[in-house]
Amino acid sequence: MWNEKKQTPPADRGQAVALIIFVLGLGTLLPWNFFMTASQYFNQRLTAPNISSNGTSGVTTKDYNYDSWMALLSQLPLLLFTLLNSFLYQWVRTRLRVAFSLIAILLLFSLTAALVQVPMLPDTFFSVTMATIWFINMFSAVLQGSLFGVVGLFPPRYSTLFMSGQGLAGIFAALAMLLSILSNAEKRSAALGYFITPCVATLGTLMCYLLLPHLEFARFYLNRNQSDNVETQQELLSSSEKKELEAKGKFISEPEENQERSSVLNVFKKIWLMAACVTCVFAVTLSVFPVITVRVQTVYKDSPAWDKVFTCVCCFIVFNAMDLVGRGAPSVVQWPAKDSVLFPVSVLSRLVFVPLLMMCNVQNARLPVLFRHDAAFVTIMALFSFSNGYLASLCMAYAPQLVRCKDCETAGSLMTFFLVLGLAVGASFSFLLGTLV
């Protein structure tokens, strides 16, 4: 029997498992970030010379609204297949789901890289790209949901590492784009190098996942009996983790086997405010990022070098860097408190960023430009992205604290669903806002 052996977890030698968990987190959000950061490349391809029916050539004037469609067709499959994954886990082994999803993502990224060198009509290119975005995010949803389950088997700090890896995915994609822009290579060669990067990263993620079960520390947790009682789990926790759980009121001394899990509806009644808040946070973010923010131009048009990297640096790098800082801030301070009326007020106050960003120096703006200077745009973007990461992390941290330990998994699944719902709602609103600027 497990309790008779009184086993203790082996050491994570060289922090190898910690590094792998971090890489897995990075790999889950690479697809979304690489397609979003490459907005300029796709928009340029969609305005390429087109051959008309009478054989004359000209630049198409059709507005494909790439950024809004990209956001929507990323979030809809994410929403649908996040739900589907909750049923898949009963029928398909986690190892197969993760490996198959990573291989599919690798093949789709390879297709995108190959299409860089293939001349295509804008309509055809748009259709192929949208289909690729749909399928790549479909597999990403299964991958992300499956890996969240795997990471949940490890001690709490490994979940933090996984989330940190996800936060770094955006910076990784933005830096890859910046390097491709700064290279002296021809545009197609630079774009090819950019899309080969996630192919290599996805392959590395797959290798890391396949290596994970062969490490002693990982095997200990992956093979642990899921029906172990709370006393055994307490023995496996470090003193710092026990203090953390005690502070949240989750560390109990008696088994909970006799307690029944609450229904999904009862759990929702306890966390509905946090669910609504996380939906609002991401709905506001996706309604203007990137569809509005990529249209903001620098005032220093006489500096070609800065004009070339302005969007990559001031839009994507600033957003992802400050979002990452915001995600980590709750480990230092958590304000407002979960039961404070200021919390939903602070979430709703982010609505102010919608008009603020729309009144920056947007190309061909219909609205009055109040914040023309680059510094104003960077400041607004920094506050916008920090508040996104900070408030979203607080929502995800507060929700499990409102329910019993037995219901934490249900609460986490519900919060993940409403997080993705917020992304889908924001992507839908981006169509309307895109027509107003």
CA distance 369 to 372: 6
CA distance 395 to 281: 9
Residues 128 and 266 reside in one and the same domain: no
Long-range pairs for 83-91 at CB < 8 Å and ≥24 separation?
83/417, 84/141, 84/142, 85/141, 85/142, 85/145, 85/146, 86/145, 86/413, 88/142, 89/145, 89/146, 89/149
Residues 270 and 384 reside in one and the same domain: yes
CA distance 242 to 221: 18
Q: Range of 163's domain? A: 11-52+62-225
Most distant pair of Cα atoms in the chain: their distance: 83
Residue 239 lies in a domain: no
Q: What is the pLDDT of residue 13?
A: 86
Mark which of 198, 225, 252 sits at the end of a domain: 225
Q: Look up the CATH number of the domain holding residue 423.
A: 1.20.1250
Mark which of 204, 225, 246 sits at the end of a domain: 225
Which positions of the chain have pLDDT values less than 70? 1-7, 48-61, 85-90, 156, 224-259, 409
Residues 214 and 297 reside in one and the same domain: no
Residue 165 lies in a domain: yes
Residue 245 lies in a domain: no
Locus of tokens 């630079």: 190
Residues 212 and 282 reside in one and the same domain: no
Report the number of distinct structural domains present in the chain.
Answer: 2
Residues 125 and 175 reside in one and the same domain: yes
Residue 249 lies in a domain: no
Q: What is the pLDDT of residue 252?
A: 46
Of the candidates 64, 184, 51, which has an alpha carbon nearest to the alpha carbon of residue 133?
64
Q: Look up the CATH number of the domain holding residue 44.
A: 1.20.1250.20
Residue 231 lies in a domain: no
Residues 152 and 221 reside in one and the same domain: yes
CA distance 208 to 344: 40
Residue 253 lies in a domain: no
Q: Please, what is the angle between helix 94-115 and helix 66-91, to 10°?
A: 160
Residues 318 and 431 reside in one and the same domain: yes
Residues 153 and 34 reside in one and the same domain: yes
The two tokens of residue 31 are 């697809």
Residues 200 and 283 reside in one and the same domain: no
Residue 234 lies in a domain: no
